Chains A and B, each alone.
Chain A
Amino acid sequence: MANSANTNTVPKLYRSVIEDVINDVRDIFLDDGVDEQVLMELKTLWENKLMQSRAVDGFHSEEQQLLLQVQQQHQPQQQQHHHHHHHQQAQPQQTVPQQAQTQQVLIPASQQAAAPQVIVPDSKLIQHMNASNMSAAATAATLALPAGVTPVQQILTNSGQLLQVVRAANGAQYIFQPQQSVVLQQQVIPQMQPGGVQAPVIQQVLAPLPGGISPQTGVIIQPQQILFTGNKTQVIPTTVAAPTPAQAQITATGQQQPQAQPAQQQAPLVLQVDGTGDTSSEEDEDEEEDYDDDEEEDKEKDGAEDGQVEEIHRSKNKWKFHLKDGIMNLNGRDYIFSKAIGDAEW
C-alpha cells in the first residue's frame, strides 16, 4: 500500500497516546474518588469516537477484536454444520463455551432430538430454536419473540435454509429466516442481559410489511431483528459486519424484497455506530481542510528551542515554512509528521 507508512504509524501512535493518558490519569481518578469503571468508559468512548470519525484507518478497538473473534469462530462452525446437521446437540455444545451465557439458557430448551430437523448451516440460532420438538412456546421463548407471536411451522427451502413461520397475534404470518445469525449472535450474546425488552424495536420489526402474506412466503424477519427485539437480548446496534452482508443476501433474493424495508429501517440503527457517510461527504469536498497541528517553530532563530530550530521565512511574497511535530487532517484522514517543509506564494 502506498500509504502504509502513515496508516500504520498513526493508529499505533494514537493507541499509545490513549494508553499513556489513561494510565496517567488513573491516579487522578482514584484521588478524586472516581471509579475505575468510569475510566474504562472514558477509554471506550474515546476509542469509539475515533473509530467513528474514520480519520484513522485500522484503528482497532474492542469491538473490532470481538468481530475478529466472531469471524474466526464462524468459519469452522459452518463446516461443522454442513456435515452434522442432524447432530445439533453436539454443535451447540461446542459453540456454547465460545459464546456467552444466554445461549446456554436457550440451548437446553431446544435440545431435543428427533423430528427431522435440518439445521441451517450457518445458523446457530436455528439450531437452538428449531431443535426438533420445540414446542411453539419454547420456540417463542428461544426466539425471544414478543407475546402473541408463536411459531407455526418449520419449512425447509430449496436452498437448504430452514424457515420458521411464526404467526403474530394479529394473524399475520411471518417467516423467520436465519441468516448470518451466527455472527450476530456471537456478537450480541455477550452483551445480553436478561429482562431487557426493547419495545420500540419490537414494534418496528413486527410492523406488517407490504405484500401478500401466505403461509409459505410472506414477510421474512431477519434473525438479527429477532435478536434485537428478544426479551433476553438487548438491541445491539454495533454488529457492523454481520447485518450488511445479511442485507445483501436478503435483497438479492426476489421474494425477500418486502422485508428489505424493515431490514433497512433497522440498518441505520445498526450501522449508525459506524458513522459512515456523514462526515466523509463533507471532508471529500476539501473545502475546509484543517491542518490541525502545531509546531514549535522559531522565527529567525529567536528564543531557545530545544532540539531543532524551525522557522518561517519570507522574502517579498515568497514564504517558506519549516514546521515540526504536527498532526494533519487532510481529506478527513489524519497524518502526522515530525518535519514539514513548505513553500507558498502570497
Chain B
Amino acid sequence: MAYQLYRNTTLGNSLQESLDELIQSQQITPQLALQVLLQFDKAINSALAQRVRNRVNFRGSLNTYRFCDNVWTFVLNDVEFREVTELIKVDKVKIVACDGKRFF
C-alpha cells in the first residue's frame, strides 16, 4: 500500500473535492471514489520517486516536534528553503513526514 499522505496536497485535495462532488451528484459511489484515491496514492508515490530529481535545503528554528504512529510532525519558524534556482522564506511551516513502511 502506498502512503496516503499525499492526499492532503493541492493535487490530492482537488481530487478529493472533485470526487466528493461526483458523489454528491450521485454519479459515482463512495467505494469507487476510494478506489480512485488508492490509485492516486500509487500514482503520486511512483511519480515522486521516479520523475522528480531536485534537491532542497532548508534552515529554521524548530518550534515543536512529534513522533506518533511512525509519523513525524514538525513545526518550524522563520524558515528559508533554498533551491538552486530560488530562495523561499516562510514564517511558519508544518512538516509531516512518514517514517518507514509501517505507516499504516
Could you list which residues of chain A lie within 8 angstroms of chain B, going by C-beta atoms? 2-6, 9, 13-14, 16-18, 20-21, 24-25, 28-29, 32, 34, 38, 41-42, 45-46, 49-50, 53, 55-56, 286-299, 302-305, 307, 312, 317, 319, 321, 323, 325-331, 334-346
CA distance A345 to B74 in the complex (A): 12
CA distance A328 to B48 in the complex (A): 12
Decide if A3 touches B39 in the complex (CB within 8 Å). Answer: no
Contacting residues, chain B, for A336 (C-beta < 8 A)? 48, 52, 54
Select one of B22, B45, B85, B92 contacting A287, CB under 8 A: B92
Extra contacts, 16 of them, besides A18-B11, A21-B39, A326-B97 (Cβ < 8 A), are A13-B51, A25-B39, A49-B14, A290-B93, A291-B95, A293-B97, A295-B97, A296-B3, A297-B100, A325-B52, A334-B11, A336-B54, A341-B58, A344-B59, A346-B63, A346-B65
Decide if B14 touches A292 in the complex (CB within 8 Å). Answer: no
The answer to whether A292 and B9 touch (CB under 8 A), given A53-B14, A297-B99, A331-B90, is: yes
Residue of A nearest to B29 (CB): A32
CA distance A75 to B71 in the complex (A): 55
Decide if A330 touches B100 in the complex (CB within 8 Å). Answer: no
A-B contact pairs, 30 of them (CB 8 A): A6-B54, A13-B51, A17-B11, A17-B44, A18-B11, A21-B43, A24-B42, A25-B36, A34-B27, A34-B32, A42-B18, A42-B22, A45-B21, A46-B15, A53-B14, A55-B10, A286-B91, A287-B92, A294-B3, A297-B99, A305-B101, A321-B95, A323-B97, A327-B48, A331-B88, A335-B56, A337-B55, A337-B56, A338-B52, A341-B58
Select one of A4, A32, A38, A344 contacting B60, CB under 8 A: A344
Decide if A5 touches B83 in the complex (CB within 8 Å). Answer: yes
Contacting residues, chain B, for A296 (C-beta < 8 A)? 3, 98-101
